[in-house]
Structure 1
Amino acid sequence: MTITGVLTLIAILASGTYLQLSVGGDLFNTRKQQVLADSARATNAAQRLLEASDAQDRVGFNALVIAMRSAIRDASSSQMIALQRMPNQSFSSEAPQDSATEGLASGVITQDLVEMVRTGDESQYWQSVTLTNPDGSTSAGIVVGSQLTFPGSAGTYGLYIGYSLADAEQTLTYVQRTLLVTALFLMVLLGLLVWTIVRLVFRPIHVAAETSRRLAAGESDVRMPEQGDEQFDVLSQSFNDMADSLQNRISELAELSQMQQRFVSDVSHELRTPLTTIRLAGDVLYGQREKLDTTAARTVELLHTQVDRFERLLTDLLEISRYDAGSVTLEREPTNLVRIAEETVEGMASLAEAAGSDVRLIAQGGYLDAELDARRVRRVIQNLLGNAIEHGEGKPIIVTVDSNETAVAVSVRDFGVGMTGEATLRVFDRFWRADPSRKRTIGGTGLGLAISLEDASVHNGWLDVWSAPGRGSSFRLTLPRKRDVPIGHSPLPVVPADEIDTDGGGDRR
Structure 2
Amino acid sequence: MPPFDWRDWLARARRLWRTSLQLRTVAITVALSTVAVTIISGYMSLSIATNLYEARKQQVLAEARQATASAQQLFDSSVTQTGTIDLETANSTAQTTIRAATSNPGGTQYAILRSEGQSSAQIMQSVTSRELDISVISSELESQVTRGDGSVYAQAVSLSTAAGVDPGIVVGGAIEVPTAGQYELYLVYNVRDVQQTLDFVQQTLVIGSLLLVLTIGLVTFFVVRLAIAPVRVAADTAEKLAAGQLEERIPEKGEDVIATLARSFNRMADSLQRQITQLADLSRVQQRFVSDVSHELRTPLTTIRLAGDVLYDQRDQFAPATARTAELLHTQVERFESMLGDLLEMSRFDAGAAQLDIEPTNLVRLVEDSLEGIRPLAEEKGSELRLVAPGGYFEADADARRLRRILQNLLGNAVDHGEGRPVVVYVDSDADAVAIAVRDYGVGMSAEELERVFDRFWRADPSRQRSTGGTGLGLAIATEDAHLHGGALDVWSIEGEGSCFRLTLPRRPGRPLTGSPIDLPPVDPLDAALAEIGGGPDD
TM-score by length of 2: 0.84
AA partner of residue 123 (structure 2): A
1:220 and 1:500 map into 2 onto residues whose CA distance is: 53
Residues 88-167 of structure 1: pairs in structure 2 closer than 5 A: 90-92=118-120, 94-96=122-124, 98=126, 100-101=128-129, 103=132, 105-106=134-135, 108-111=137-140, 114-115=143-144, 118-121=147-150, 124-135=151-162, 137-152=164-179, 154-167=180-193
Structure 1 pair 249–425 and aligned structure 2 pair: CA distance change class (3 A)? closer
User: Any conservation in 1 of the 2:360–2:398 contact (CA below 8 Å)?
Assistant: yes
1:498 and 1:366 map into 2 onto residues whose CA distance is: 16
Corresponding residue number in structure 2 for 1:255: 281
Residues 157-306 of structure 1: pairs in structure 2 closer than 5 A: 157-227=183-253, 232-306=258-332
Matched, 1:418 2:444: yes
Deviation, 1:281, is 0.9
Matched, 1:329 2:383: no
Percent identity over the alignment? 49
Matched, 1:388 2:417: no
Three-state SS of the structure 2 residue aligned to 1:133 is strand
Three-state SS of the structure 1 residue aligned to 2:193 is helix
Matched, 1:340 2:366: yes
User: Any conservation in 2 of the 1:114–1:158 contact (CA below 8 Å)?
Assistant: no
Deviation, 1:438, is 1.7
Deviation, 1:408, is 0.6
Deviation, 1:407, is 0.4
Matched, 1:36 2:58: no
User: Which sits farther off after the overlay, 49-58 or 3-12?
Assistant: 49-58
Aligned residues: 499
C-alpha offsets along residues 165-210 of structure 1, whole Å, 9 cap, x if unaligned? 2210111011100111111112112221221222223212221121
2:360 and 2:466 map into 1 onto residues whose CA distance is: 35
Matched, 1:309 2:335: yes
User: Any conservation in 2 of the 1:384–1:412 contact (CA below 8 Å)?
Assistant: yes
1:126 and 1:115 map into 2 onto residues whose CA distance is: 7
AA partner of residue 95 (structure 2): R
2:232 and 2:469 map into 1 onto residues whose CA distance is: 57
Deviation, 1:11, is 4.7
C-alpha offsets along residues 13-67 of structure 1, whole Å, 9 cap, x if unaligned? 3542343244324422432343234324433443344234359999953564344
TM-score by length of 1: 0.88
1:100 and 1:222 map into 2 onto residues whose CA distance is: 92
Three-state SS of the structure 2 residue aligned to 1:43 is helix
User: Which sits farther off after the overlay, 436-445 or 487-496?
Assistant: 436-445
User: Any conservation in 2 of the 1:337–1:366 contact (CA below 8 Å)?
Assistant: no
User: Any conservation in 2 of the 1:128–1:140 contact (CA below 8 Å)?
Assistant: no
User: Which sits farther off after the overlay, 216-225 or 158-167?
Assistant: 216-225
1:469 and 1:19 map into 2 onto residues whose CA distance is: 74
Deviation, 1:379, is 0.5
Structure 1 pair 21–363 and aligned structure 2 pair: CA distance change class (3 A)? closer
User: Any conservation in 2 of the 1:226–1:236 contact (CA below 8 Å)?
Assistant: yes
1:335 and 1:203 map into 2 onto residues whose CA distance is: 54
Structure 1 pair 168–214 and aligned structure 2 pair: CA distance change class (3 A)? same
Structure 1 pair 376–145 and aligned structure 2 pair: CA distance change class (3 A)? same
Deviation, 1:300, is 0.8
Corresponding residue number in structure 1 for 2:49: 24
Deviation, 1:499, is 4.6
Unmatched 5+ residue regions in structure 1? none
Residues 436-455 of structure 1: pairs in structure 2 closer than 5 A: 436-455=462-481
Deviation, 1:129, is 1.5
Structure 1 pair 116–151 and aligned structure 2 pair: CA distance change class (3 A)? closer
Matched, 1:83 2:112: yes
1:276 and 1:58 map into 2 onto residues whose CA distance is: 154
Structure 1 pair 5–288 and aligned structure 2 pair: CA distance change class (3 A)? same
Matched, 1:355 2:359: no
Three-state SS of the structure 1 residue aligned to 2:64 is helix
Corresponding residue number in structure 2 for 1:429: 455
Deviation, 1:4, is 4.0
AA partner of residue 152 (structure 2): Y
Deviation, 1:307, is 0.6
1:3 and 1:490 map into 2 onto residues whose CA distance is: 42
Corresponding residue number in structure 1 for 2:7: none
Unmatched 5+ residue regions in structure 2? 1-25, 529-536
Alignment root-mean-square deviation, CA? 3.0
AA partner of residue 189 (structure 1): T
1:135 and 1:477 map into 2 onto residues whose CA distance is: 89
Deviation, 1:136, is 8.4
AA partner of residue 428 (structure 2): D
